[in-house]
């Protein structure tokens, strides 16, 4: 049986339309609870379609003092990494569509370039 170029194109197009394409995209956090990320004008990705990397999960170290001196001591946790906030830009990796639907991996926050990033609170 002979297959034409047009038939091959149609087969490939149908495959891509039914499996989706993976790739990188950017988005903005539109809601925290539940987590939602807006990617483009029409796509809002719900939490159940997101995988979150450790870089986007808040991290606090709780310090415990074992001495009696307490004046000026740090008794609160130290925030090493803030959790995602509404308005944060994020870099997404789109996993091709599967039986479970299209899933997205939130790789990290993104922001406009600055040569130095200053942090208050220390």
Q: Say what the pLDDT of residue 30 is.
A: 97
Q: Say what the pLDDT of residue 44 is.
A: 94
Percent of the chain past pLDDT 90, that is, above it, reads 37
20: confidence class by pLDDT, cuts 50, 70, 90: low
Range 20-57+84-110: architecture per CATH:
Beta Barrel (2.40)
74: confidence class by pLDDT, cuts 50, 70, 90: low
Q: Say what the pLDDT of residue 77 is.
A: 79
Read off the pLDDT of residues 93-119 as tens digits, 9 standing for 90 and up.
Answer: 987 766 677 889 999 999 888 888 777
Question: What string of DSSP letters covers 43-111?
Answer: EEEEGGGEEE-GGGS-EEEPP---SS--TT---SPEEEEPPP-TT-EEEEEEEEEETTEEEEEEEEEE-
Q: Say what the pLDDT of residue 28 is.
A: 96
18: confidence class by pLDDT, cuts 50, 70, 90: low
């Amino acid at each position: 049986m002979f297959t034409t170029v047009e038939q091959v194109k149609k087969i490939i197009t149908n495959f891509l339309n039914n499996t989706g394409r993976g790739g990188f995209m950017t988005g903005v956090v539109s809601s925290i609870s539940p987590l939602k990320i807006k990617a483009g004008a029409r796509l809002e990705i719900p939490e159940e379609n997101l995988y979150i990397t450790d870089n986007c999960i808040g991290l606090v170290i709780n310090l415990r003092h074992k001495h009696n001196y307490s004046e000026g001591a740090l008794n609160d946790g130290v925030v090493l990494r803030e959790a995602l906030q509404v308005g944060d830009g994020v870099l997404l990796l789109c996993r091709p569509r599967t039986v479970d639907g299209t899933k997205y991996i939130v790789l990290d926050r993104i922001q406009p370039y600055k040569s130095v990033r200053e942090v208050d609170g220390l």
